[in-house]
Amino acid sequence: MDNNKSAWERIQLVHAKGRPTVNDYLPLIFTDFYEMHGDRLFGDDKAIIGGIARLDNMPVTVIAQVKGRNINENKNCNFAMPHPEGYRKALRLARQAEKFHRPIVCFIDTPGASCGVPDEERGQGEAIAKNIAEFMTIRTPIISIILGEAGSGGALALGVCDELAMLENAQYSVLSPRGFASILWKDASREQEASEIMMITAEDMVNLGVAETVIEEPLGGAHNDLDKISENIKEYLSHKIQEKCEKDIDVLLKERYTKFRKIGEFTE
């Protein structure tokens, strides 16, 4: 693991052309993935993919934010910015997982939730808030992994979990460094300077108690060896899901609640 890279260098790797997306990881980590569509209220959001799969022959529910690998894919998934129906689809699948006692695996990779007028009209804030509240009480293990960027409430809606892991070069922040610089200094060109003071790297998140694990990437970034990074993610998931499944569910829920109360107290 290279701990010498700056936050800005990590951001460049996260945005590098060819960095794997969840569509690259799915067939290498899981088998028998069966996608499920729609929120049963409005429609099917392509920015969030979800369904049932097997991890080492164990049935799990997978919920993931989707980034495109080219301009057409990005347009189709709204550049990984989910609409309210995407978050409602995620919650529907989480409740289904709870019913059938399947562990939940969430993959986070978004610059933030979609913020257009139609999204607000359909209750974007309510959808995110409800996910945060409801995921806190889901009676099955939840593991979340940040693959690249995790922006604001758009990421937090899938980030309430029993354990949060981040890929080595991933970032987790309330807004982008460009947005930070624009607000704080009224100068978006200072985004590199902002990235170094925002404490957004995987190591920062572990030190702050927000994340528990950093998953090592291949030398030069995840795009340099898809098989290796997929193997690392699968190994982590196999171990952690087994560990969480062995716990009494009431103990697990209490630990989940305590984890987020501690984060809240630290940031107040």
Closest to 194 in 3D by CA, of 204, 205, 183: 183
The residue count of the chain comes to 268
Residue 4 confidence (pLDDT) = 79
The Cα–Cα gap between 71 and 77 comes to 10
What's this model's pTM, rounded to 2 decimal places?
A: 0.95
Residue 252 confidence (pLDDT) = 97
Q: What tokens does 130 get?
A: 């409800």
Q: Coil, strand, or helix at residue 225?
A: coil
Q: Which residues are registered as beta bridge partners of 166?
A: 146, 214
- Digitized pLDDT (tens) for each residue of the chain, 268 residues in all: 666 789 999 999 999 989 999 999 999 999 999 999 999 999 999 999 999 999 999 999 999 999 998 999 999 999 999 999 999 999 999 999 999 999 999 999 999 999 999 999 999 999 999 999 999 999 999 999 999 999 989 999 999 999 999 999 999 999 999 999 999 999 999 999 999 999 999 999 999 999 999 999 999 999 999 999 999 999 999 999 999 999 999 999 999 999 998 866 555 5
8 Å CB contact between 21 and 67: yes
The Cα–Cα gap between 160 and 166 comes to 14
The Cα–Cα gap between 140 and 134 comes to 12
8 Å CB contact between 147 and 118: no
The residue written with tokens 């989707």 in the block is 66
Q: The domain 7-267 is classified under which CATH number: 3.40.50.12240, 2.60.40.10, 1.10.1040.10, 3.90.226.10?
A: 3.90.226.10
Domain coordinates in residue numbering, the chain:
7-267
- In whole angstroms, how far apart are CA 231 and each of 12, 22, 28, 219, 226? 23, 14, 8, 15, 8
8 Å CB contact between 216 and 7: no
Residue 264 confidence (pLDDT) = 60
